[in-house]
């Protein structure tokens, strides 16, 4: 980022590493307290939802990111950018919105998880834990898609070790609460 100071009337700030849509969302948040699509409170259910979009909603949850040359979850990129600028409340809003997303392709989830791991410090467990929980909840989809297997072969991130630990902890929790032992052949048949 630098400022063009060639003339007093022509001052520009270049943000070469920022995606225009993301930076626009951050500015919208700074002026309005939220970004599109907005969080709305459903009084009947006493829950938060993402506002209904005028169109079919496709593409609103993802954004093209030049660094990855592909689509990422918009809220993940906003969270990471907010972290870089020290905007803690925006991080909370982005995380809440991301938790309300559904119907996201496996490849987009994994690309976004890799981006989150690469753009957050190891001490930031909130966004990382969100991805681990999302993958565990969507495990039947991931098992069928083949995307997870290809990603694990390629490896290269802390994501897969964290996922392994989270799954082990999940299995431990289930086995200690139900006192039911799962036969080893049953675990292998899942693959």
Please write the tens of the pLDDT for every residue from 18-59. 788 898 999 999 999 999 888 888 889 888 888 876 554 444
> Of all residues in the chain, what percent carry a pLDDT higher than 90?
25
Phi, then psi, of 124 in degrees rounded to 5: -85, 95
59: helix, strand or coil: coil
Q: Which residues pair with 50 in a beta bridge?
A: 39
Cα–Cα–Cα angle for 66, 71, 74, rounded to 5 degrees: 95
Give, as one character, the DSSP assignment of residue 53: P
CA distance 159 to 128: 8
Residue found by looking up tokens 């080893």 in the block: 184
Q: Which residues pair with 95 in a beta bridge?
A: none
pLDDT at 177 over 70: no
pLDDT at 3 over 50: no
> Of all residues in the chain, what percent carry a pLDDT higher than 70?
79
pLDDT at 144 over 90: no
Confidence of residue 72 (pLDDT cuts 50, 70, 90): very high
- Of residues 41 and 78, the one with the higher pLDDT is 78
């Amino acid at each position: 980022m630098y400022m063009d100071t060639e003339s007093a009337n022509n001052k520009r700030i270049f943000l070469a590493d920022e995606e225009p849509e993301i930076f626009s969302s951050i500015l919208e948040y700074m002026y309005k307290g939220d970004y599109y699509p907005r969080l709305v409170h459903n009084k009947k259910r006493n829950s938060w939802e993402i506002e209904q979009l005028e169109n079919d909603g496709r593409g609103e949850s993802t954004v093209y990111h030049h660094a990855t040359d592909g689509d990422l979850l918009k809220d993940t990129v906003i969270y990471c950018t907010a972290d870089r600028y020290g905007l803690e409340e925006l991080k909370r809003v982005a995380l809440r919105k991301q938790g309300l997303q559904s119907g996201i392709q496996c490849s987009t989830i994994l690309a976004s998880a890799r981006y989150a791991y690469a753009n957050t410090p190891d001490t930031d467990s909130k966004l990382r834990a969100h991805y681990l929980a999302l993958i565990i909840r969507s495990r039947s989809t991931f098992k069928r898609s083949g995307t997870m297997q290809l990603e694990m072969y390629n490896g290269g991130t802390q994501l897969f070790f964290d996922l392994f630990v989270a799954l082990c902890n999940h299995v431990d929790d289930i086995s200690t609460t139900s006192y039911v032992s799962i036969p080893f052949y049953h675990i292998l048949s899942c693959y």
